[in-house]
Amino acid sequence: MQFDNSLPIYQQVVTAIKKEIAAGRITPGEKLPSCRDLALQYRINPNTAARVYQVLEADHVAETRRGTGTYVREDPSLLSVMRKEMADGYTRSYIRDMADLGYHKDEVLRYLEDWNVPESEPSDLPERT
Amino acid sequence: MLETKNLVKKYGGKTALNDISFPIEQGKTYLLLGPNGSGKTTWMKTAASLSKPTSGSVLWNGTPVGVESRKEISYMPTESFFYPWMIVADVGDYCTDFFEDFDLDQFRDLIRDMELPADAKVKSLSSGMNAKLRLAAAISRKARVYLLDEPLNGIDLVARDAVMKAVISVMSPDTAVVISSHLVEEVESFVSTAIFLRNGKLLEITDTEDLRTRTGKSLADRYRELMQ
């Protein structure tokens, strides 16, 4: 993963993991890597990896089970909550950039009308019930 | 665990280290940063107890570094220290004889991961391959402190991944790692603290996540600012 070195690394890894959950690549109840393995996977300090899990726990995304490791919470609504959180984030920054360019809401909406959403990405998602 | 106190080192008429003090604490990974000639290698050699301070000291658990600290502090120097007749596999045997804490199995795993042929002659290795071999030897010890002087020098882009993973794998709550490198961008995602040196003086000690949170700056940004 390519980091933006001017932003806190732990936040970037938290976002990356939430994105994996939102995309269905990590599922509720799944065991997450140990801090050491997370550090190796993202090329971060093991202390940063521990902090990532603290934040995910505080955000009610993960839970640590004594002696066995950290798991994604077994919560069926987690996927939709993560999707919403991610979508809010992307939309917020898009709207901010468009506002900087001087676009008003109705102009943004009209602009979006002309764009197609590619099918490939969402087709990776598990069936939504 | 490793405390540098008012350390001064003079070579001939030149002052390589000019009254520097800082702690190295367990569980942290440090990056020594500074232009050429700023004193990084001199500090490492002194901390590894291969060079004596002119005044001041480096203390290992309260006692000046020496024979005892060398058993627990692993040092990767910038120059090759192997005999020319050795093959890569001999280095493992040599280190096993030399260091009580050397893990030969880990050494074998590392040279495989870093694609070093076990039967290659040490003197025929390129500078990058030799650096990988020195790194493998240094981090195969079960040490408390790892001092790695320019571990990425001469190592190509493809091999850097394996090298950095190897470095991350020795980090633990009871070890400390000190790296010197000019390749700030390559290592800043996994170092916890930067120690900035210039002309043998300590300029600043910076917590990397704190720097990013507080100022929105990267270590590379801060380095440029300080060295101007």
Q: What share of chain A is helix, strand, coil (3-state, %, to 5)?
A: 55, 5, 40
Residue A76 distance to chain B (closest CA, Å): 33
The pLDDT tens digits of the residues spanning B186-221 come to: 899 999 999 999 999 999 999 999 999 999 999 999
B54 and A CB contact within 8 Å: no
What are the backbone dihedrals phi and psi of residue A89, each rounded to the nearest 5 degrees, phi first? -60, -50
**CA B102 to each of CA A110, B31, B74, B139, B179: distance values in angstroms, whole numbers, following the listed order:** 67, 24, 10, 9, 20
Instruction: Determine the Cα–Cα distance for residues B175 and B165; give it in Å rounded to an integer.
Output: 16
Tell me which of A7, A43, A52, A55 to substitute to probe the interface with B (most B C-beta atoms closer than 10 Å).
Answer: A43
pLDDT-flagged residues of chain B (< 70): none
From the list B164, B169, B209, which residue is nearest A8 (CB)? B209
Instruction: Determine the Cα–Cα distance for residues B39 and B56; give it in Å rounded to an integer.
Output: 15
**Whether A6 and B216 lie within 8 Å, measured CB to CB:** yes
A129 confidence band (pLDDT: 50, 70, 90):
very low
Residues of chain A above pLDDT 70, percent: 92
Contact list in B for residue A43 (CB cut-off 8 A) is 164-165, 168, 189-190
**What is the distance between the terminal CA atoms of chain B, rounded to a whole angstrom?**
33
pLDDT at A116 over 90: no
Q: pTM of this prediction?
A: 0.88
Contact list in A for residue B168 (CB cut-off 8 A) is 39-40, 43-46
The whole-angstrom distance between residue A116's C-alpha and the CA centroid of its chain comes to 23
**Whether A39 and B190 lie within 8 Å, measured CB to CB:** yes
ipTM score of the complex?
0.87
